[in-house]
Amino acid sequence: MLVIVAPGQGSQTPGFLRPWLEDPTFAARFEWLSTVAGIDLVHYGTEADADAIRATEIAQPLLVATGLVAALEIFPHPADAFARIGAVAGHSVGELTAAAGARAITAEQAMVLVRERGAAMAAAAKVTETGMTAVLGGDRDEVLAAIEKHGLTPANDNGPGQVVAAGTMEQLAALAADPPAKARLMPLSVAGAFHTHHMGPAVERMATLARSVSTHDARTPVISNRDGQVVHSGRDLVARLVGQIASPVRWDLCMDTMLDLGVTGILEMPPAGTLTGIAKRAMKGVETFALKTPDQLDAAREFIRKHGEPSPLTITPTWRMVVAPGKGTFHVSAEARETEVLAPGTVIGELASLRERTPVVSAHGGRVVEWLVEDGDIVSPGQPLLRLHPEAVS
């Protein structure tokens, strides 16, 4: 089973786009997305120095455009992708790449959103002097306790031995003076405390824009940074993308879900290396492929042939599907069990796991065609639960 992942801010390096832009098709598509964003991304991907591409408002559109166009190099026809990819995920801003790749939003919508996201986060970072520090190694509980002690937020939880603390520079200095045992601290060269409450103004800006974004249900399951749940509803996915700006990235839970799904191969979109590196440490036995340059495309396609299998979501216009957001025991709600026509937003049941109890909501209304599980069944992330036929509900 194949999972495609898209990296987040910090994975870019000066000139990384040069070999990709030698291909006329890639160049034309990239220039189109650059035009949509209103930023000369060709310049920033080829000629700009490290400081220029480190800027939040530049780095984020650059990463999303690169991931989307590279995906088209691998899968010129999107239907080929849906027949091979089991799930997608993106780290931080990479979630926009994943959402567009799953066809929940268009590439053009993704570029407008990422342009505004980067600008809003850069503006929010200027309000207070903040930053981020990677805490490498140490006992996990002790690391989290030290972060909390100094009023910081574990903004990125990237799995065993890698938690990123974020907050004011004074708070980070206090952590540096009193680090957790056996941990190494590495200050990150970023503009501010991303994925913390300091990004609140950016959330407000993006929430306003998101209300005008038309969405579709994802054609491939998307694993959410918020909690590692599988998301199918396009509207829910966009809401999560907005909220994630000021909420911690739980990449550890995303990797847990990949393992629950039965992943055997992870392919990282360019500029690749960060997420496959984390996977090598945290997901023993899972094969990885970091797509960095176009001369790797044939090898990437072979990797896809080896690990690819169809998504469990086979969407047709005649019916919709409700899927499990995670693993656990599914309990059907009394309302859903006794109703033939569901209103949008109906809670069809509850998913119970060792970690939490999660309501399962039918984002769309419709007539119940078929229950695909029984009450009390143990289900896996992304497993289809209920098939609905779209129908107006008064």
pLDDT digits (tens, 9 = 90+) for 18-49: 999 999 999 999 999 999 999 999 999 999 99
Other C-beta atoms lying within 10 Å of the C-beta of residue 319: 14
Please return the burial class of 33, using the count of CB atoms within 10 Å of its CB with bins 0-12, 13-18 and 19+.
Answer: buried
Q: 196: which 2 tokens? A: 């913390």
pLDDT along the chain (394 residues), means of 10: 95 96 96 97 97 95 97 83 90 97 96 97 95 95 96 94 96 96 92 95 95 92 96 94 97 96 96 96 96 97 91 61 92 91 93 91 89 94 89 51
Helix (H) or strand (E) holding 42: helix 41-46
- Give yes or no: 195 in active site: yes
* Contact criterion met (CB below 8 Å) for 347 and 361: yes
Average pLDDT over the chain reads 93
Report the Cα 225 to chain-centroid distance in Å.
5
pLDDT for 318: 56
pLDDT for 317: 47
Which of 91, 195, 198, 364 is labelled catalytic?
A: 195
The closest alpha carbon to 64, from 290, 293, 270, belongs to: 270
How far apart CA 152 and CA 249 sit, in angstroms, is: 14
DSSP structural state of residue 312: S
- Beta pairing class for 130-137 and 153-157: unpaired
The closest alpha carbon to 5, from 244, 223, 192, 201, belongs to: 223
Characterize 241-255 residue by residue with b for buried, 16 or more Cβ atoms within 10 angstroms of its Cβ, and e for exposed.
bbebbbbbbbbbbbb
The closest alpha carbon to 45, from 67, 25, 24, belongs to: 67
pLDDT for 137: 95
How far apart CA 52 and CA 44 sit, in angstroms, is: 7
* Contact criterion met (CB below 8 Å) for 330 and 375: yes
Which of 92, 233, 311, 362 is labelled catalytic?
A: 92
Other C-beta atoms lying within 10 Å of the C-beta of residue 356: 10
Q: Give the chain's domains with CATH numbers.
A: 2-124+197-307 (3.40.366.10), 127-187 (3.30.70.250), 320-389 (2.40.50.100)
Other C-beta atoms lying within 10 Å of the C-beta of residue 392: 7
Helix (H) or strand (E) holding 28: helix 24-37
Q: 347: which 2 tokens? A: 């809670």
* Contact criterion met (CB below 8 Å) for 120 and 206: yes
Q: 202: which 2 tokens? A: 């950016």
CA count, 13 A, side-chain hemisphere, 48: 19
* DSSP SS3 for 194: coil
* Contact criterion met (CB below 8 Å) for 271 and 16: yes
pLDDT for 314: 55
- Would you list the DSSP string of 200-233? HHHHHHHHHHHTT------SS-EE-TTTS-EE--
Q: 334: which 2 tokens? A: 């009394």
pLDDT for 313: 64
pLDDT for 103: 93
- Give yes or no: 216 in active site: no
